[in-house]
Structure 1
Amino acid sequence: MAQQETDERVSDEFIDDTKDSAEREQAHRERGTVRPITVVGHPMLHRECRDVTAFDEALASLIDDMFASQRAAEGVGLAANQIGVDLKVFVYDCPDDDGVRHVGAVCNPVLDELPPDGRVLDDNNEGCLSVPGAYAELPRPDYAVVRGQDATGRPVTVRGTGYFARCLQHETDHLYGHLYLERLSKRERKKALTMMAENTPRYETVPNAE
């Protein structure tokens, strides 16, 4: 788990990820190259990713590819290990429950732990590009705060409500080797995997091998 031990990696100021969201997403996507999506069973999805330590052109290029891949797969969030890259970074292009579009990228994300009396669970459907064609109801807090770094290494803090909060939690989970399936009961997990087996992915995927 990424630790935030110094002030250089912690920010209490929430970023505005709604400004020029369409233009920023388009710029990333047009620079990027679409990559195939790893699916459940692939080893990289089931272990914690490495921290991002180099905030360079290679990282910027990866983020562009992630935006391009996310759009091609019609997703709202994508973690690096979902395109076979072992780094703690995710991108998102996700509306909140008010329809406001949020676009951004977070490196080395850590979720704030909400106090029990401050949690309101949202029990809605959740899907995953790495479990194509499957959905399941999954309770998650309807508010989330993620702290990390942007593509240049500067500290960022992102907050979300409703659907966007679910996205932030889902993508952070990915980077620590967890799929949403693991949060389901055995029965619901089996049902989701059956749904996946019965459907053909609408985007390119890769075999479950490195």
Structure 2
Amino acid sequence: MTELLPIIQLGNPQLRQKSAVVENIQDEKIQQLIDDLIDKVAEANGVGIAAPQIAASYRLFIVASRPNPRYPHAPEMKPTAMINPQIISHSAEIVKGWEGCLSVPGIRGLVPRYQAIAVEYTDRNGDLQQQELTDFVARIFQHEYDHLNGILFVDRVETTLEMMTEQEYQQRIVNNT
């Protein structure tokens, strides 16, 4: 395992750039990046991480939902690399849910997202995948997809009244469910 790159933080201009399409998925550098992202998301107690968050400007992210201290009620799934992802269609229904971000530590926000999405992406073996995602996993995908376009969850919060610190979130939301 290589030394993991640090997660860049809000204010770093690289988080606001549009990411480049991954041309050669089998490139050793891309495969190593996937492994590094899988390790990093686990180490940071995240449920997803995008390549731009470790200053790698590629259209690649990991969805890795699982219960952890930051998301104790998250559903369990195997970490999945999603390369050059697209949202093909979405539900009309939009729901608000609490989000945090490894690049915006200490803050949570209530973010409107599509409740269900149909997505397409290439997996790490170079195979095209299509999936229907709903609820929390759909939220993770949309959050990470935004990172590829230089958008952060704080950009989608409709009012600052729908933001709180991580400490308040843990006390008010997590401990009251």
What is aligned with 2:15? 45
- Higher relative contact order by CA 8 Å / sep ≥ 6: 1 or 2? 1
Q: Quick one: which of 59, 67, 88 aligns to 2:59?
A: 88
Deviation at 1:129, TM superposition (A): 0.7
Who is 1:107 aligned against?
83
Deviations 1:145-184 (Å, cap 9, x if unpaired)? 2212112332122332111110011111100111111112
The answer to whether residue 40 in structure 2 is matched with residue 63 in structure 1 is no
TM-score (norm 1): 0.69
Q: Is the 8 A contact 2:74 2:136 kept in 1?
A: no
Percent identity, please: 31
- 1:74 and 1:95 map into 2 onto residues whose CA distance is 9
Name 1:169's counterpart in structure 2: 142
Q: Report the structure, 1 or 2, having the larger strand content.
A: 2
- 1:123 pairs, out of 83, 88, 96, with 96
- Normalized against structure 2, the TM-score is what? 0.81
Do the aligned residues in 2 keep the contact of 1:144 with 1:168 (CA within 8 Å)? no
Conserved in 2, the CA contact under 8 Å of 1:95 and 1:163?
A: no
Correspondence 1:34 to 2:4: yes
Alpha-carbon displacement from aligned partner over 1:96-122 (angstroms, at most 9, x marks no partner): 9883424211111111232xxx42222
Q: In the alignment, which residue of structure 2 is the partner of 1:77?
A: 48
**Greater shift in the superposed pair: 51-60 or 74-83:** 51-60
Q: Give the secondary-structure state (helix, strand or coil) at the position aligned to 2:154.
A: helix
> Per-residue deviation at 1:142?
1.4
Q: How far is the alpha carbon of 1:71 from its aligned partner?
A: 0.9
Match of 2:153 in 1: 180
Match of 1:150 in 2: 123
Query: 1:18-64 CA deviation, whole Å, 9 max, x = no partner?
Result: xxxxxxxxxxxxx4643210111111110100110012221111100
Query: Cα 1:188–1:180, aligned 2, differ >3 Å: closer, same or farther?
Result: farther
Counterpart code for 2:61: F
Mapped contact 1:120–1:141 kept (Cα < 8 A) = yes
- Which residue identity is paired with 1:87? Y
- How many equivalent residue pairs? 160
Specify whether residues 70 and 33 from structure 1 end up closer, same or farther in structure 2 by C-alpha distance, changes over 3 A only: farther
Q: Is the 8 A contact 2:93 2:115 kept in 1?
A: yes
Q: Structure 1 pair 100/75, CA: closer, same or farther in 2 (3 Å)?
A: closer
